[in-house]
């Protein structure tokens, strides 16, 4: 099995105060280019959302968790910039792989996040170091910290017509 290219501690250290340092920003630029190609499985996408202060689109590479046929975005850093932007945009965002896909993100109540966080930690190696519950732990352990990690369910955007 391939190892993740940085240690868990190095991954956490790239986000002092919940914001990416220069190394984290380099990785973000790299993964955005890769995810947009659509060559990786569908769990890897670029989230595009309008900035709540600037009004300009901003983008973030993200990995999604799938549970019972539904897809979810998890904020590995907890409350962060993209989460605030998604809330300000009333969940209207674009997920991009080869093509843009307008979607609506609906925030999941903390009480329902445990299984989603568990799946996220199983499937998204870059998010794993930021969530203080080990891979394979019981859902109850994830439920205990769920209020600290916003989760959004991905819904198809309503037809604008």
What tens digit of pLDDT does each residue of 63-82 get? 899 999 999 999 988 888 89
Percent share of the chain, pLDDT over 70: 75
| Number of structural domains the chain divides into | 1
Question: What pLDDT sits at residue 92?
Answer: 96
Question: What pLDDT sits at residue 2?
Answer: 46
Residue 2 covered by a domain:
no
Predicted confidence (pLDDT) per residue in 85-127, tens digit? 999 999 999 998 888 999 999 999 999 999 999 999 999 887 8
Residue 161 covered by a domain:
no
Give the domain extent around 35: 8-156
Distance CA 132, CA 9 (A): 12
Residue 137 covered by a domain:
yes
Residue 152 covered by a domain:
yes
Residue 3 covered by a domain:
no
Predicted confidence (pLDDT) per residue in 20-48, tens digit? 667 656 666 666 666 677 666 677 898 99
β-strand 92-96 against 44-50: which pairing, if any? antiparallel
Q: Is the dihedral of CA 135, 91, 29, 22 positive or negative?
A: negative
CATH of the domain at 123: 2.30.110.10
Question: What pLDDT sits at residue 66?
Answer: 96
Between 129 and 57, the more confident residue is 57
Residue 119 covered by a domain:
yes
Residue 1 covered by a domain:
no
pLDDT at 61 over 70: yes
Average pLDDT, the chain: 84
Mean pLDDT within 134-148:
96
């Amino acid at each position: 099995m391939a190892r993740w290219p940085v240690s868990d501690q190095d991954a956490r250290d790239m986000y002092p105060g919940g914001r990416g340092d220069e190394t984290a920003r380099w990785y973000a630029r790299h993964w955005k280019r890769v995810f947009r190609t659509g060559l990786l499985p569908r769990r890897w996408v670029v989230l595009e959302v309008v900035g709540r202060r600037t009004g300009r689109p901003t983008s973030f590479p993200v990995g999604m968790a799938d549970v019972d046929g539904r897809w979810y975005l998890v904020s590995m850093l907890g409350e962060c910039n993209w989460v605030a932007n998604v809330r300000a945009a009333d969940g209207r965002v674009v997920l991009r792989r080869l093509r843009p896909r307008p979607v609506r993100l609906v925030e999941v109540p903390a009480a329902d996040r445990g299984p989603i966080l568990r799946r996220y930690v199983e499937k998204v190696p870059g998010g794993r170091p930021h969530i203080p519950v080990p891979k394979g732990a019981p859902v109850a352990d994830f439920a205990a910290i769920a209020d600290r990690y916003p989760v959004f369910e991905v819904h198809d955007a309503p037809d604008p017509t």
